[in-house]
Structure 1
Amino acid sequence: MNELVEVFLTSVRDGYVQVSAFVAVTVLLFGVVQYRTNGALVERLSDNERLQPLFGALMGLTPGCGGAIVMMPLYVRGTVSFGTVVATLIATAGDSAFVILALAPKAALYAYGIAFATAIASGYAIDRFGMGVGRVDRAVATFGRTATDGGSVAANPGGNPAHEYDCCETTAARESPVLTPLSHAVHALWWVSAGVALVLGVLYLLSGAPDVPLTLGASYAGAFTVVGLTGTTASFYLYFVGRRYLGDGRVGRARDSFADLYDTLTHAALETSFVTVWVLAAYLLYEYGVVLLGVDVGSLAAAVGVLAPVAGAVIGLIPGCGPQIVLASVYAEGAIPFSALTANAISQDGDALFPLLAIDKKAAVVASIYTTIPALVVGVALHLFFDIGAKTGFGVLG
């Protein structure tokens, strides 16, 4: 029982420090650009369909999952194509990128460069040829309106179906003599926690993602624990209660622009809190699977021969960044070949899949399939036909 409680507390802590703080910064930066340009960035992206997969791949390539998470609501509202979603997810490096960049920068350059090229090619192929997306989205439409905003599915000029949402209808925030000021106070606490967590998270990743003891006190581990627990608790309050007193209560959706800087900060906090809830669920599922079922990602990753890139692609199917960080650490130890790292880099969706799972589960499943197929093809081809593919320890710093 003590071990189960420790797993729970560790997941609550780690989800915020390792993921949420990085997501918050990216979402905030994107929001500030939207605010300063009065929505011009999203408008230009919507008008330039040919550039969408390239832009999505660039957003996914940024270390962490924040850039990719920003793109998911844009698909839901019909701003970008499904091919852009797939390009974004294929290029997504996730939090494991920080580990590889720190411990094997040359391998990171090659692996993420290959993933970026694969992302662009796959995104444009899906937008050009459809790849069955139309049938899937029409099937999704028969299930009715989605949980977050409600909407319908229509074909965009490029032939890919896109969700059309009544994105600009908003409702007034609720007013309460107790919950309104409390929500603003928790919002402020959330941003303080996010700032400290960002510093702690960067130090954690640069040191190779070591195990951090679950402890209190005036130490790095103590600050890691306090900030993580505080930030996640505040995230849960904002998602389940505070969002109705800070805004119109809607999350998981793109905004055209913002009234002021505080509105931008509020949006970033609420969207990140939404992701935090889903990230914690994934952390708990993975960690309890390790404890109760004996799942060992390291052993799976260490498969021999051509099975190594297959294993890397399969691990990439697991939502979240935890398993991917484990695989990156295993690579840095020289236990798996470069082909497995590359296949995982292409296949993994990191935490970016969670917003899409919450709003459009069918699209999320199909997107995962479309990221896994090129991961298998490229990973196996690297292993069989290129000397670099079968190497272990390629690019690892001594």
Structure 2
Amino acid sequence: MADPVGILLGSVRDGFVQVGAFVAITVVLFSYLQYRTGGRLVERLERNERAQPLIGALLGLTPGCGGAIVMMPLYVRGSVSFGTVVATLIATAGDSAFVLLALAPEAALYAYGISFGAAIVSGYAIDRFGLGVGRVDRAVARLRPTATDGGVVSGTAGANPAANPGHEYDGVACSHDHSRKREPGFMTWLSHAAHVAWWATALVALIAGTVYLLRGAPDVAMTVAPTFEGAFTVAGITGSILSVYLYAVGRRYIGEGGVGHVRESFHSAYDTFQHAAMETSFVTVWVIAGYLLYEYVVQFGNVDIAAFAAAAGLLAPVGGALLGLIPGCGPQIVLAGVYAEGAIPFSALTANAISQDGDALFPLIAMDKTAAIVASIYTTVPALVVGIALHVVFGPLFGFGVL
């Protein structure tokens, strides 16, 4: 029987090292561009509607989930279309890309190239034709009658299925509000100190996470020692604890009360890093929750997801596509490792690459659950079509592109 405490500590540690640190770098780079351009980057994206699905697909294609996570708040605030969200999620390579690029680079290039093509086609098709958005929305409404406004997938889809009229998050309009900052005091000082410590920890976690991926994502012992395993463990657990503090407490004292959205501009470089830390902390909390759910279901529910994905015949790409429905990168990392061992076919790997939404789905779930459900449906359909077609035309292709 697996140790529940061990699973908890492992999920807390891995959530920050494997995901949080990489997300932080992507978000801070994007935020810094916003700072240097005075907010003009998002404005240009808003004005250039025709290029939005293409840009979303390019952001999703970057290894890790940081690029895709950046796009989700843009949709919630009404800056980009729903087709852009779907294109971003379809192209999302996730953290499994680091593993696959290291162990099976040729397979990764083909799988993500096909995924990128499917993302562009699907994104533009949704924005142009709607593709039954109204019918899907009615089905979702029956499942969850109290669902919040889903933008393009709401009742106005018939009039303009690509439009997203803007949203609120937790009853707060998605715009930065400095008035949320509390009066200066000990908690304000403590929160700023936690923010600085968070970035120092994130730097260590980024180095540890990079080494971890270059080594082929091996099992890392849970230990406190002056070793790689010790740095991995200490940075992961410390970073997650600081993330929970910043998300639950610190944001109320240093002017980042409304997380999960894109800032118009920044007052300073410190403000830029502060915002990136808050956004990443928000994502990290959700990632840890997803990791825990996945691990507890697998360990205590006797569910062998890898074996299901490796089923013979056409069930292989179907299994890969359905596995992609699970939010987060944990199952996808497992699948990438299983593929590198030659246990599943290329068709299943490609179907999973198309359907997986990575950690980008967590902030979308938090901000707009209806949109998250419908987006998952739209990423799964092309995954099934392409995966099955590859299996029928080219065969299983076990071990294709593996070093």
CA shift, 1:133, in A, is 3.3
Matched, 1:38 2:73: no
Gaps of 5+ in 2: 168-172
Question: In structure 2, do the counterparts of structure 1 residues 37 and 395 end up closer, same or farther at CA, with 3 Å as the change threshold?
Answer: same
Alignment check: 8 A CA contact 2:147 2:369 kept: no
CA deviation after TM superposition for structure 1 residue 145, in Å: 6.5
Structure 1 residue 171 displacement after superposition: 3.8
CA distance in 2 between partners of 1:8 and 1:168 (Å):
34
Query: Once the 2 structures are TM-superposed, how far is the Cα of residue 311 of structure 1 from its aligned partner?
Result: 0.6
Q: TM-score, normalised by structure 1?
A: 0.93
Q: Within 2, Cα distance between the matches of 1:107 and 1:160?
A: 34
Which whole-Å CA distance do the structure 1 matches of 2:401 and 2:136 have between them? Answer: 41
Per-residue CA shift, 1:95-118, capped at 9, x if unaligned? 100111001111011000000000
| Equivalent of 2:258 in 219, 235, 250 | 250
1:373-392 aligned at under 5 Å gives the runs 373-386=381-394, 389-392=395-398
Who is 1:95 aligned against?
95
Please identify, of 50-59 and 167-176, the stretch whose mean Cα deviation from structure 2 is larger. Answer: 167-176
Q: 2:369 aligns with which of 361, 367, 370?
A: 361
SS at match of 2:239: helix
Q: Given the alignment of the two structures, is residue 170 of structure 1 paired with residue 177 of structure 2, yes or no?
A: yes
- Cα deviation for residue 156 of structure 1 reads 12
Partner of residue 322, structure 2? 314
Checking the alignment, whether the CA contact within 8 Å between 1:78 and 1:163 is kept in structure 2 is yes
- For 2:326, the aligned partner's letter is I
Per-residue CA deviations over 1:313-372 (Å, capped at 9, x if unaligned) read 011111110000000000000011100000000000010000000010000000000000
Number of residue pairs the alignment of both structures matches = 391
> Which residue identity does 1:162 align to in structure 2?
N
Tell me the equivalent position of 1:114: 114
Shift of 1:161: 2.8
Work out the CA distance in 1 between the residues paired with 2:6 and 2:108: 33
Task: Quote the Cα distance in structure 2 between the aligned partners of 1:153 and 1:79.
Answer: 19
Give the Cα separation in 2 of the matches to 1:392 and 1:374. 21
Contact 2:266 2:272 in 1 (8 A): yes
Q: Quickly say closer, same or farther: Cα 1:264–1:134, change in 2 above 3 A.
A: farther
Q: Tell me the residue number matched to 1:371.
A: 379
Q: Which residue in the other structure is 1:161 paired with?
A: 163
Q: Percent identity, aligned pairs only? A: 67
Pairing 1:227-246 to 2, within 5 Å after superposition = 227-246=235-254
Instruction: Give the distance between the partners of 1:250 and 1:134, measured in 2 at CA.
Output: 30
Distance 2:158 2:188 in 1: 41
Q: Relative to 1, partners in 2 of residues 1:153 and 1:284: Cα closer, same or farther, differing over 3 Å?
A: same
Kindly indicate whether the alpha-carbon contact (under 8 Å) linking 1:52 and 1:80 is maintained by their aligned counterparts in 2. Answer: yes
Runs of 4+ in 1 over 2 A off after TM superposition: 131-146, 152-159, 165-169
**Aligned mates of 2:3, 2:147 — CA distance in 1:** 42
CA distance in 2, matches of 1:256, 1:351: 23
* 1:188 aligned partner: 196
Aligned partners of 1:259 and 1:382: how far apart in 2?
A: 50
Question: Quick one: structure 1 residues 344 and 266, their matched pair in 2 at CA, closer, same or farther if it must change by over 3 Å?
Answer: same
Which moves more between the two structures, 245-254 or 223-232? 245-254
Which amino acid counterpart does residue 329 of structure 2 have in structure 1? C
Any unmatched runs of 5+ in structure 1? 147-151
Greater displacement, 350-359 / 130-139 = 130-139
Q: Contact between 1:75 and 1:163, CA under 8 Å: does it hold in 2?
A: no
Shift of residue 155, structure 1, vs aligned partner: 7.6
> What SS does structure 1 have at the residue aligned with 2:164?
strand
Which is further off, 159-168 or 184-193?
A: 159-168
User: If the length of structure 2 is used for normalisation, what is the TM-score?
Assistant: 0.92
1:390 Cα deviation after fit: 1.4
| 2:291 corresponds to 1:289 | no
Amino acid at match of 2:330: G
1:85 is the counterpart of 2:62: no
Which digits, 9 at most, give the CA deviation of each residue in 1:221-251, with x for residues without a partner? 1111100010000000000000011114010
Specify the alignment match of 1:6 in structure 2. Answer: 6
Correspondence for 2:339:
331
Cα RMSD for the two superposed structures = 2.2
Give yes or no for contact 1:153–1:164 (8 Å, CA) kept in 2. no
What is residue 219 of structure 2 aligned with on the other side? 211
Report the equivalent of 1:22.
22
